[in-house]
């Protein structure tokens, strides 16, 4: 009887390492969040190489920071501090045309690439009107994210300690909310199955790159059926949600009140693969 129960799985990837991964979709959608949160700020200091009036230099940095924050980049309009990434701003003139340029500088002070923004008439640019600065920032933000993505991909591939080059350590926390032996069975089987898929599974939070929690909700539908909802939540070392996996089904009343048996096997078989895929995405390996 257990083997005939199939849980429907819904996988929601949240953001998603050390600097941004590419976005897909519109700002605010789960698909365009960072694959992993950056370890530090992206500082955007005012620049005097932009041909803007002095009073417009800081608003330009603020506009860029706000546009990048829409993509969940921790950008700030400020001078860089130790450990910060930095975005250097310039404007290149070609006759009567202004071309904004953006250079990403790593914490070590080395340039990680330059991207150009959309050109516009110099006379329009030099006035530094707030709506113009905001439009330029909005247009440039996805280009800058792409630049950051390439910089991060390069860093990961050369850093032996990055998740790109080593197995992730995952803490699988005890499950909660399940009737019968579900809490014990789900956590135990998830640890076993996930370990076979590559991650190093642990029961302690010490040194964990990710934490996986499981919450089960058992809701009565009528006198014969109950709705079982299993939510697996994957968070990173900074407690940012990076994966949200939901499994749903309706089961006969009393079916799971004692032993989950093959149901727990099927549930964890499906969910562990989804968790592994999220971890690979977070690690930049897919």
The pLDDT tens digits of the residues spanning 98-114 come to 999 999 998 889 898 99
Distance of alpha carbon 134 from alpha carbon 141, whole angstroms: 11
Length of the chain (residues): 286
pLDDT value of residue 261: 93
Segment among 38-42, 172-176, 278-282 with least mean pLDDT: 38-42
Per-residue pLDDT at 23 exceeds 60: no
Structure tokens at 235: 């968070």
DSSP category for residue 3 = G
Strand residues in the chain grouped as ranges (E): 8-13, 42-43, 75-76, 85-94, 97-105, 111-116, 120-121, 169-172, 200-202, 210-220, 225-236, 241-252
Nearest to 21 by CA among 73, 75, 67, 85: 73
Residues near 215 by beta carbon (within 8 Å), at least 6 away in sequence: 175, 176, 177, 230, 231, 233
Residue 4: pLDDT over 60: no
pLDDT score of 282: 83
Structural domains in the chain plus CATH codes: 2-16+163-282 (3.40.50), 40-158 (3.40.50.10070)
CA 34, CA 30: separation in Å to the nearest integer?
Answer: 9
Name which residue leads in pLDDT, 83 or 20. Answer: 83
Residue 286: how many other CB atoms lie within 10 Å: 10
Q: Token digits for 36?
A: 């992993």
Q: What pLDDT shows up at residue 8?
A: 63
Do the Cβ atoms of 68 and 42 come closer than 8 Å?
yes
Nearest to 174 by CA among 200, 212, 146, 142: 212
Statement: residue 218 has pLDDT above 80? yes
**CA 256, CA 158: separation in Å to the nearest integer?**
49
pLDDT for residue 86 is more than 80:
yes
Once rounded to an integer, what is the mean pLDDT over residues 166-195?
96
Tell me what the mean pLDDT of segment 71-100 comes to: 93
Evaluate whether 23 touches 31 at the Cβ level (below 8 Å): yes
- pLDDT band at residue 5, thresholds of 50, 70 and 90? low
pLDDT tens sequence across 31-77: 233 444 444 789 999 998 999 988 889 999 999 999 999 988 989 99
Nearest to 118 by CA among 150, 141, 86: 141
Report the helix count and the strand count for the chain, using DSSP H and E: 5, 12
The answer to which of 12-21, 49-58, 163-172, 257-266 has the lowest mean pLDDT is: 12-21
Burial (CB count within 10 angstroms: exposed 0-12, middle 13-18, buried 19+), residue 126: middle
pLDDT score at 162: 72
- The answer, yes or no, to whether residue 22 has pLDDT greater than 50, is no
pLDDT for residue 106: 87
What pLDDT does 56 receive? 86
Angle, CA of 204, 171 and 241, to the nearest 5°: 130
Per the prediction, the chain carries an average pLDDT of 84
Closest CA to 137 of 219, 188, 53, 65: 65
Contacts of 71 (CB under 8 A, 6+ apart): 20, 23, 27, 32, 34, 141, 142, 145
Q: Taking phi first (over 0 means left), then psi (-120 to 50 degrees means alpha), and beta for anything else, what does residue 132 get?
A: alpha
């Amino acid at each position: 009887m257990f083997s005939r129960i199939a849980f429907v799985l819904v996988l929601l990837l949240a953001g998603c390492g050390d600097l941004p991964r590419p976005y897909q979709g519109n700002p605010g959608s789960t698909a365009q969040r960072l694959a992993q949160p950056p370890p530090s700020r992206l500082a955007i200091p005012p620049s005097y190489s932009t041909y803007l009036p002095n009073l417009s230099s800081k608003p330009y940095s603020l506009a860029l920071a706000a546009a990048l924050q829409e993509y969940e980049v921790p950008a700030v309009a400020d001078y860089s501090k130790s450990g910060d990434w930095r975005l250097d701003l310039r404007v290149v003139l070609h006759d009567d045309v202004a071309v904004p340029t953006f250079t990403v500088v790593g914490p070590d002070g080395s340039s990680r690439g330059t991207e150009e923004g959309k050109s516009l008439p110099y006379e329009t640019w030099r006035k530094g009107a707030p709506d113009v600065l905001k439009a330029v920032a909005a247009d440039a933000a996805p280009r800058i994210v792409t630049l950051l993505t390439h910089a991060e991909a390069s860093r990961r591939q050369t850093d032996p300690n990055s998740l790109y080059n080593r197995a992730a350590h995952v803490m699988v926390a005890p499950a909660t909310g399940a009737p019968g032996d579900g809490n014990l069975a789900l956590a135990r089987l998830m640890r076993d199955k996930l370990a076979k898929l590559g991650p190093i599974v642990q029961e302690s939070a010490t040194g964990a790159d990710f934490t996986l929690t499981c919450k089960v909700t058992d809701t009565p539908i009528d006198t014969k059926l109950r709705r079982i909802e299993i939510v697996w939540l994957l968070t990173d070392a900074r407690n940012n949600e990076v994966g949200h996996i939901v499994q749903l089904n309706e089961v006969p009343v009393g079916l799971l009140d004692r032993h989950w048996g093959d149901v727990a096997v099927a549930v964890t078989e499906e969910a562990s693969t989804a968790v592994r895929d999220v971890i690979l995405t977070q690690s930049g390996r897919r």
